[in-house]
Amino acid sequence: MDSQQNIQKRQKTNALNLLILCAISLILVMQLHLQFVQKINWDEFYFLSLVYDYQRGDLSKPLQTAHVHFFGWLKYISPNEVTQIIAARVVMWGLQLGTLYFIFKTACRFISTRSALFAVLSYLGFGFIFIHGTSFRADPIATFLVTGLIYIFVATPLNYKNLAALSAALALALLVTIKVIFFAPLFAALALWRLSTAANKKALFLRLSMCAGVSIMLFALGYLVQLNIMPSADVVGSKDMLGNAGRTTLLESGWFPRSLIIQQHFIFGLISTLMLFLGFLFILLDIRKEPSGSKRLVAILAMGLPLLSLIFYRNAFPYFFAFVFPTVILWAGYAAERLKKMPILLGLLALMIVINIGVQYKFRLNETHHSQYVTLKELHRIFPETVNYIDKSSMMSSYAKSGFFMSSWGLKNYRAKNDPVLTKAMKAKVIPVLIDNSPEISRALHSSKASSLLLARDQLSLRENFIPHWGQIWIAGKALSVSPQDSIFENLVPGKYTLQSNYPVLIDGISYASGDVVFLARGQHRAASGQLQDIKLRWGNTLQAPDMAAPTQPIFTNF
């Protein structure tokens, strides 16, 4: 009789394990498909542009740019940056598989296989993680490395071989992003836990100290290598960057600077949130009830320490949660462990997670990259060779962007310096194209809109030196009203221009008919006409817009 009951119990356990595995697999398939269709975020283009900056010898940031050495192959995928980022996202999806494996193996150190699987499912059950966990940013790379080193720390013998791997992973993670520092309290807590359970505490302490020292040495070596292979990089620039980042992201934003996004994260992963909360309560209750097992429970509780960064970190945007949640998710696994006598409930919760993610997947399918892809396709058609351009975030990543990265942080620094860098760039380089992919650029170009955060001088330079071409693409040009009396205008983009007019026009004393090409140097020019008329001077030799309709969807929307 007992044997029959045990067989039935194992069958139920295997069935639930299979259900959870199927739920994980279905979410991963939906997520993989999403990489090929969903829109590209502005900082993904920026992340790609760093790869091209490094290849051109223009990269001056030795910190947080280690990825540039691993993605140089993207340029061979396609000339369109959207397709390149899709290929990179598939790589990130593969890294996330590694992250999920490390979450599972780490959880198995504390809880059963089934509960560890539920922890993995709960991680994927957060909408922000499902959507942004595989984006082309530093976060998925660092998450893979951090979860790997935590697995080594928690679930393997801390021999010299494993500690060497841990040191290398930590150094590389720091070179990818300094945000790894948010895991420092957890590293310290896990070190204390391993020491408290070690048979030879002194030997382990020496090994861990050596591991920390090797990590610092490897990080310093990697930084020095970066510094020496980047001609325009220097130590002062790194110090300034770290100081600016520290002030802006940690010290000037108050408590819970992204409270609304934090709330949305927990709401979009409601079942996973519930399991986290239950796990937290169960851990606290069991610490009181089981003093003999308190070290293990305290170690699980410490997995939530990276969440403290949400209290003060300004850049806790949706993509950040995939980075900061892979350890605390063990709380959800612990809740599943405590509910192991209720397999039907766990099965229902697993199904609810899949349904929740499925609904978000369906809505996300409407947020496509179509407008981005066709805009870049047209830009590369117009400019098959590299040119300088102005936009928000280096969208035409394979070409050299002029100006600055127009993130909220970038705009804040730009306003503080009060330096019209766009105008200066136009006076120093030939910049024939502008991409209207920033609210501030759009407001500058359309003065009837709300006030732009760009400086007045830069707004005027953009408005007077670019005209609409197709969709969000603006080409260097002039839209002028001319009469028999000379009109004086300033040109900041030297080059050939095609005249569009109803009647002949005198430009700098020479008569031109519509369709003629005139060379305009940088500086002031005169234009007049025998009849009052509106004319356009468009950069290039009879540059034509494509016949297909321009996309109406904005290039960038919210996360």
Chain center to CA of 392: 14
In degrees and rounded to multiples of 5, residue 145 shows phi and psi of -70, -45
The pLDDT value given to residue 557: 87
Q: In this structure, what DSSP letter does residue 41 have? A: P
pTM: 0.93
Token readout for 332 is 């959800």
Query: What's the pLDDT tens digit per position in 206-246?
Result: 999 999 999 999 999 999 999 899 887 766 666 666 666 66
Token readout for 509 is 């004393």
Burial of residue 126, with CB atoms counted within 10 A of its CB: 0-12 exposed, 13-18 middle, 19 or more buried:
buried
Query: What's the pLDDT tens digit per position in 432-443?
Result: 999 999 999 999
Chain center to CA of 425: 26
The pLDDT value given to residue 236: 63
**Which residues are within 8 A (CB) of 454 and not within 5 positions of it... i.e. 6 or more apart?**
414, 422, 440, 441, 443, 444, 462
Query: What's the pLDDT tens digit per position in 262-313?
Result: 999 999 999 999 999 999 999 999 998 877 668 899 999 999 999 999 999 9
In the predicted model, residues of the chain with pLDDT beneath 50 are: 1
Instruction: Order across the sheet with 505-507: list the strands.
Output: 487-491, 523-528, 505-507, 510-512
What is the total residue count of the chain?
559
Distance CA 134, CA 86 (A): 10
Pairing of strands 401-402, 510-512: unpaired
Distance CA 296, CA 172 (A): 29
Distance CA 445, CA 422 (A): 13
